[in-house]
Amino acid sequence: MGTGNHSCGTDFTLVGLFQYGHMDTFLFTVISIIFAVALIGNITLVLLIRLDRRLHTPMYFFLSQLSIIDMMCISTTVPKMGANFLSDTKAISILGCEIQVFMFMSLAGCEALLLGFMSYDRYIAICQPLHYPVLMSRKICCSMVAGAWSSSSINALAHTVYVFQLPFCGSRIVNHFFCEVPSLLPLVCEDTSQYEHMIVMSVLVLVLLPFLAILASYARVLVVVFQMGSGQGQSRAVSTCSSHLTVASLFYVTGLCTYTQPHSLHSPGRDKVVAVLYSIVTPVLNPFIYSLRNKEVMGALRRQRG
């Protein structure tokens, strides 16, 4: 990844989530606990799905991939954020910044597509159950996951290479707690409006389309389930759909808010709060929403304990 025409030193400075020096130790402790909870929750879910043969289905295959993405995502942002609470410089190298941008965009794009595939899986399972073994075969599921990883990585690589060949001038202070494209664009000393249009196009394809597919899939699922007239089936479907939609809405809506606005309309304080939701809160909540509200996962956990 090229570094482009940079000036004024070789490092960026991350302002961080808060600017209260006297609270740094406390904030470091809080963020460390959150990081540990996210890792433990997602690792537990991945291991359960791996060890329990009853969970060897397409839905749980996708869910294990989601947990892996969440672990990688929170590991991309939180360790540096926590270290900066205890550091006086809060500096990040150009290479470190490039890695954060590439990794976060890759993982966020992959998660956006994966959540869409998970809703498609539920749609096929409930609305076309006779075709489910064919439409959701192991080969097709692996192809879906490989497609999500490769397309999101290519998209992230293109954006990372382009952003870091732009000329950065003046202040190299990034008003954020990690390197993210919207927080870097105000530091560029040339017009970026055309490039911002390209960002919007990427987000519409990788984020908005899967979100609309999720809404359409679950709307159809609920219609079919309520037509069946089974009270138990209805409650289970509503529970599954509501938990998935909770996670999806939190992730998609906050991501869309950040990446579809021109940088002239961004508020650093608001952007940081929104970024916490999709980069930290979502990876923490995902394993608990999908496990605590899922009888099969809880049953697998009890069997492993027994």
Half-sphere exposure of 195 (CA within 13 A, CB side): 19
CA-to-CA distance for 29 and 34, rounded, in angstroms? 9
Q: How far is CA 152 from the centre of its chain?
A: 12
The hierarchical CATH code for the domain 11-299 is 1.20.1070.10
Tokens of 25: 């130790």
Mean pLDDT calculated for residue range 106-121: 94
Q: Average pLDDT, whole number, for the chain?
A: 88
Q: How far apart are CA 13 and CA 112, in angstroms?
A: 29
Radius of gyration, alpha carbons of the chain: 21
Going by pLDDT thresholds of 50, 70 and 90, the confidence category of residue 7 is very low
pLDDT at 230 (0 to 100)? 65
Residues in the chain: 306
Structure tokens at 26: 């406390």
The per-residue pLDDT for range 20-70, each reduced to its tens digit, is 666 778 888 999 999 999 999 999 999 999 998 888 999 999 999 999 999
- Axis-axis angle for helices 193-203, 231-259 (nearest 10): 170
**What percent of the chain stands above pLDDT 90?**
60
pTM for the predicted model, two decimal places: 0.90
Q: Dump strand ranges (E) for the chain.
A: 11-14, 91-93, 173-174
Kindly state the tokens that stand for 19. Answer: 């600017």
CB distance 112 to 210 below 8 Å? yes
Residue 80's contacts (CB-CB under 8 Å, 6 or more residues apart) are 14, 92, 96, 100, 178
Amino acid sitting at position 235: S
Q: Tell me: pLDDT of 165 over 90.
A: yes
Cβ distance 151 to 109 under 8 Å? Answer: yes
Residues whose CB is less than 8 angstroms from the CB of residue 45 and which lie 6 or more positions away in sequence, other chains included: 63, 64, 67, 287, 290, 291, 297
44, 64 in Cβ contact below 8 A? no
Delimit the domains of the chain by residue range.
Answer: 11-299
Residue 297 has pLDDT above 90, yes or no: no
